[in-house]
């Protein structure tokens, strides 16, 4: 059983909440979200927000807060093989109320099918928009196509 140890990123100005499923091996090693260099999350968001792509954890944190974006994951703990969402079992969900009670979240977005599956399973009273995964495993989506799909977060 692995436990999520990366704290959520948000402040009282956060307007959107972006949720992943559970941190990858590389993200767990980096102790921050979307730590795998092949994951396109940071490149997509920087294009969507027309902002410089952050490189360090400090830059990523400042980038999210500057763009009023909160980030966390749906799952608090689970069994998982490597980073494969398809192997997730024995899920305990995160309490999203921690963010929702302390930030001005207008809309929730989920990064990929697995995050959406677990979000809808454990948050029946909340709505979210499912976006295509920024994971390198989602080879069907080019960077340009991801950016176009993710532009919906700017409408909040």
Between vectors from CA 95 to CA 155 and to CA 118, what angle results, nearest 5°?
A: 70
Where b means 16+ CB within 10 Å and e means fewer, 12-49 reads eebebbbbbbbbbeebbebebbbbbeebbbbebbbbbb
Active site residue 90: no
Q: Is the CB of residue 145 less than 8 Å from the CB of residue 151?
A: no
Strand partners, 2: 78
Choosing from 12, 13, 39, 111, which is the catalytic residue?
A: 39
- Token pair for 39: 């994951």
Q: How many helices (H) and strands (E) does the chain have?
A: 6, 7
Residues with active-site annotation: 39
């Amino acid at each position: 059983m692995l436990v999520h140890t990366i704290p959520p990123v948000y402040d009282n100005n956060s307007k959107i909440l972006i949720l992943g499923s559970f941190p990858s091996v590389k993200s767990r090693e980096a102790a921050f979200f979307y730590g795998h260099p092949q994951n396109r999350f940071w490149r997509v968001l920087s294009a969507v927000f027309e902002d410089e792509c952050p490189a360090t954890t400090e830059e990523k944190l400042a980038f999210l807060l500057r763009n009023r974006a909160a980030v966390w994951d749906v799952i608090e703990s689970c069994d998982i093989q490597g980073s494969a969402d398809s192997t997730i079992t024995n899920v305990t969900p995160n309490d999203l109320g921690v963010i929702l009670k302390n930030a001005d979240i207008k809309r929730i977005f989920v990064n990929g099918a697995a995050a959406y599956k677990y979000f809808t399973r454990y948050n029946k009273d909340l709505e979210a928009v499912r976006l295509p995964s920024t994971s390198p495993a989602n080879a069907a989506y080019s960077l340009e196509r991801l950016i176009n799909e993710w532009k919906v977060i700017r409408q909040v």
